[in-house]
Amino acid sequence: MTNTDKNTDKQKPNMNPKDRKPKFSPYWVYAIIVLVFVGIQVFSGGWSEPAKTTPAEFQTFLKEGDVAKVVIVNKKKAKVFLTSDAKAKSVHSKSTSENVLATADSPSYVFEFGDLQNLENEIKKTKEQYNLSTSVVYDTESNVLGDVLLTLLPFAIIIAIWIFIMRRMSSGAGGGPGGQIFNIGKSKAKLFDQNTDVKTTFENVAGLEGAKEEVQEIVDFLKKPDKYTSLGGKIPKGALLVGPPGTGKTLLARAVAGEAKVPFFSLSGSDFVEMFVGVGASRVRDLFKQAKEKAPAIIFIDEIDAIGRARGKSNFSGSNDERENTLNQLLTEMDGFGSNANVIVLAATNRADVLDKALMRAGRFDRQIYVDLPDVRERKEIFEVHLKPLKKDPGLDMDFLAKQTPGFSGADIANVCNEAALIAARKERKTVTKQDFLDAVDRIVGGLEKKNKIITPAEKKAIAFHEAGHATVSWLLEHAAPLVKVTIVPRGQSLGAAWYLPEERLIVRPEQMLDEMCAALGGRAAEKVIFDTISTGALSDLEKVTKQARAMVTIYGLNDKVGNLTYYDSTGQSEYNFTKPYSEKTAELIDKEISELVEEQYQRAITILKENKDKLTQLADLLLEKEVIFKDNLEEIFGKRPFEKEEKEPLQKQEDSKAIDSDTEETSASENVSTS
């Protein structure tokens, strides 16, 4: 099973200060240009502006003979030039002190007037009355630069906004829903190379020895191609990682990226699909073009079933399908480059049954690497990886934790470890103990306890007898899973639950499945025996039993009347068919046999409980009292199980033992911790 690196979230050590050079931004150029224009405007007259006055004060200055010249600008503003004697007067000191940048030819005052004709008449009248030689000059001024700026400024703002929007839109997915408007056909793959910090290695992948060996060989292909090509061999085109969710397929690919030291292109299958026609095929072409330019390289496509589904199954209209075009282009590219291209395609999926057959053939995906759920030895290795960053109890037994989590994937185990740490922190403990892990497993499998749920005494009694029925029947049947604990505290959606520890079987026999069905029906049977009535509380039990019975009849060929037939399609293509693979007469027979199987085990459970009614009542009373009971409590009431199996071989010996070779699949009930 695979696991994440405990140092994933840690940052790299501080980089060399020499490498931290500030990047030059073109926006600094724009800022400098703006400042230059502002400076020109300021220094062109803003700081040397003369003192302001009024027309009345101007008439006073004119009458006293202080005005040497009047310049009328643009028929609305007048500039007043004083005589040299007038500048020395204290009354005009204000104009000379404020005008710090004034030259000899600079005006001393400036004022605005309303009507030019009135101003001319008053000046003419004052000159004649006081016999003055003041000259009146007319001038026209214009600020060309300012006018140009005012004219161009709106256009500049519009262009700047447009450039900003276009850059954001063309910058990729970060630009929002309209991302890649200019690069719509470009590949969205992330490139990891020797300059990229990829910390995941094969050391962080626990278990999966066979899968690791396969992908390590692929890495070796790319590092030392001559080693294989010198013997006439060809480097494989691709490898497909197949397995249930959470088993570590993506992490295995990340480990390849960390180990290979070659360019590694990573993307998801959904990255090819867009609303525009032809985009997927274009991105496939661009992806392989980039990979071949950087060869040797690895391309990793996660969830390839998004584009690799079998063609022609869902296209009822007969129209051109964008997803099919993408798949066709992928098929062409994978079989199009030569063996010397040194480009290997890795892909991961948990739906290998729906992939197109053309994609699975040799020459495209030459190898299929199965990543299964971990066994007890592999789970121990996974726990060791995930427990490294935790402050765990020194006496924590890894073997015990591995045995308590049958059917758990690597992701489930990582979740257990995290949940245990949270539970320990909630209880203010200094270390994570064994009980925290058990509580974490209960929390994940059964759900959160709901102690505040309102349950009537009659309902509580019914729940207690229901769970006691499960415990009793499973205890008295040889092939039923051993009981771990029983509770009547509501958890998740269930009002009560029973935990079992199923054996990890490679093959399952009919008597084992029948015993499991009988134990599952023990709850409803107990209600019938004690209360002479049944309730809706056995819904999950009935669902489980019905699935098992249907599997026995239609999949595994374990029914005498139906015979050695199976209607299971391992290719997964049957989901597209509208007809059943058997006749109506056979369907009736199947339904009858399923019903008989279930009813037979139900009557068997009733018989067992009637024979042990006193012990059943004793167990239910104990359950009502304590709310939670364990294996030890059942031993006090029923005694030790007569068919208790011996302890399995130690993990070290198991490692050396040979696995049983069988084509028979294990039932889901034996792979997962079951709850009532």
Closest CA to 522 of 632, 611, 639, 643: 611
Question: How is residue 239 annotated by DSSP?
Answer: E
What mean pLDDT comes out for the span 347-363? 84
For residue 176, the model assigns a pLDDT of 41
Instruction: Note if 467 is an active site residue.
Output: yes
For residue 651, the model assigns a pLDDT of 39
8 A C-beta contact, residue 426 and residue 443: no
8 A C-beta contact, residue 226 and residue 233: no
Structure tokens at 570: 């391992």
Give the Cβ contact number of residue 382 at 10 Å.
31
For residue 554, the model assigns a pLDDT of 92
Residue 527 has pLDDT above 50, yes or no: yes
Per-residue pLDDT tens for 475-511? Answer: 888 888 877 778 887 876 778 777 777 777 778 888 9
- Spatial neighbors of 439 by CB under 8 A, at least 6 apart, are 420, 423
| SS percent in the chain: helix, strand, coil, step 5 | 50, 10, 40
Which of 412-416, 443-447, 536-540 is predicted with the least confidence, judged by mean pLDDT?
443-447
Give the Cβ contact number of residue 598 at 10 Å.
20
Q: Which amino acid is at 147?
A: D
Assign 416 to helix, strand or coil: helix
Give bridge partners of residue 347 from the DSSP assignment.
240, 301
Give bridge partners of residue 139 from the DSSP assignment.
73
Residue 23 has pLDDT above 90, yes or no: no
Query: What is d(CA 659, CA 205) in angstroms, rounded to the nearest whole number?
Result: 22
Per-residue confidence at 642, pLDDT binned at 50, 70, 90?
confident
For residue 549, the model assigns a pLDDT of 93
Residue with tokens 């359950």: 623
Query: What is d(CA 552, CA 565) in angstroms, rounded to the nearest whole number?
Result: 10
Catalytic annotation, pick one of 259, 324, 467, 593: 467
H/E stretch holding 461 reads helix 457-476
Residue with tokens 């180990």: 259
Residue 450 has pLDDT above 90, yes or no: no
Q: Are strands 297-302 and 628-630 parallel, antiparallel or unpaired?
A: unpaired
331 or 491, which is more confident: 331
Per-residue pLDDT tens for 282-314? Answer: 888 888 888 888 878 888 888 888 888 887 655
Give bridge partners of residue 485 from the DSSP assignment.
499, 630
Query: What is d(CA 16, CA 485) in angstroms, rounded to the nearest whole number?
Result: 58
498 or 562, which is more confident: 562
What mean pLDDT comes out for the span 536-561? 90
Structure tokens at 499: 């935990």
For residue 645, the model assigns a pLDDT of 56
